[in-house]
Amino acid sequence: MTTLRPALMIVIACSLWLTACDSAGPPPTATPSPSPSPVSAAALSVTSVEELSLPHGDLYLSPDGQQIAWVDKKQICVYTAAAVQQRCASIPAIIDANVVRWSPDSTRLVFTENLFLYFYKPHIWVLDAATGHLANLTAGGAATKIGPLTGLGGQIYVLALAPDGGLIAYNRDLLKTQSPDLGVWVARPDGTDPRHLVGDRLVTDIEFSPDGQALLAFSDAVVGQYALPPGVSSSWLVTLADGKEIPIDPLGAHWAAWAPTGEGLAYIVSSRRTPNTSGLYLAARPGSPGRQVYAEAVVPPLVVGGQYQTLRWAANNTILLQRSRDSKVVLVHLGIK
């Protein structure tokens, strides 16, 4: 029997916005900004770095790069990308920062209470970013299970939906570190035809490539190790066709993100032993050499409660980071110089 952590199950359930989350209340009123024409990551460099004055908390850049969600304890707020507060909402319990997600069109946010603080089934909340309307999808005892997942088996903690909706990727038995079922699996959305791609690693975030041909897997457990040796990565790539692992960088990629389109990757190298190699890198495609484009020790701005998530690269070629030397939040703009 499959046991699915409700707080993370909604990450995939509410990625299916046309079915699961259209009942969240009034239709979203924000109009997504048009995406720029695709540009190869090989041609991009950092054109500007903008320091943002934002309160302490976990930060989430919207897919279109126009908004930033801020979470701290029971409160969630929406800011513009220039750090101007727009609206806020609160729920009765502490928000699980590890499951906060934007909708693909950047109009809504979905999240739950923190299961491991309260040990009861968390509610599924959806916030309209434009109006501040907050809806509880599971109020009144509504079921938190969305769709049958009959064939997965074990403990399921992370789910991701393929761009075409034809596959889900997930992990199994996160807490059983010696389990042969540990690692990344794929299956049909109803849980049938499961296939084990990669084992022997804890996984706390999974992202499909835009073309649906590969997965990016992230493990917070690796990031948490002190003084990582050179070449040890917390992010790695897996091809769907044969389960082949592709290293991102021989220096070790600690957080990574797919480009909004194409095969490009952004990733962070963090090295205490060779600090000059630390910074933000871009690679044109999986397996190709990366270029350091921002020579600063940085981390994703998810240092309070959202450490299980990895990096995000917005459609307008911006990436939100936090500098290690002064804890300043910066919005890095990528473009062609």
By C-alpha distance, which of 207, 230, 234 is closest to 221?
234
The pLDDT-based confidence of 34 (bands split at 50, 70, 90) is very low
pTM listed for this prediction: 0.84
Do residues 157 and 8 make contact, with C-beta atoms less than 8 angstroms apart? yes
Count of Cβ atoms closer than 10 Å to residue 205 Cβ: 25
The DSSP code sequence of 257-323 is EE-SSTT-EEEEE--SSSGGG-EEEEESSTTSPEEEEE-S-EE-S--SS-TT------TTSEEEEEE
pLDDT of residue 10 exceeding 80, the answer is: no
- Model confidence over 270-287: pLDDT tens digits? 887 888 999 999 999 888
Between 238 and 13, where is the model more confident?
Answer: 238
- Model confidence over 184-225: pLDDT tens digits? 889 888 778 888 887 767 778 889 999 899 999 887 755 554
Task: Give me the CATH number covering residue 103.
Answer: 2.130.10
Do residues 219 and 232 make contact, with C-beta atoms less than 8 angstroms apart? no
Name the CA dihedral angle for 16, 18, 24, 29, rounded to a multiple of 10 degrees: 120
Least confident residue range of 172-181, 248-257, 315-324: 172-181
pLDDT of residue 336 exceeding 90, the answer is: yes
User: Containing domain of residue 306, as a range?
Assistant: 2-25+32-335
Could you give the number of structural domains in the chain?
1
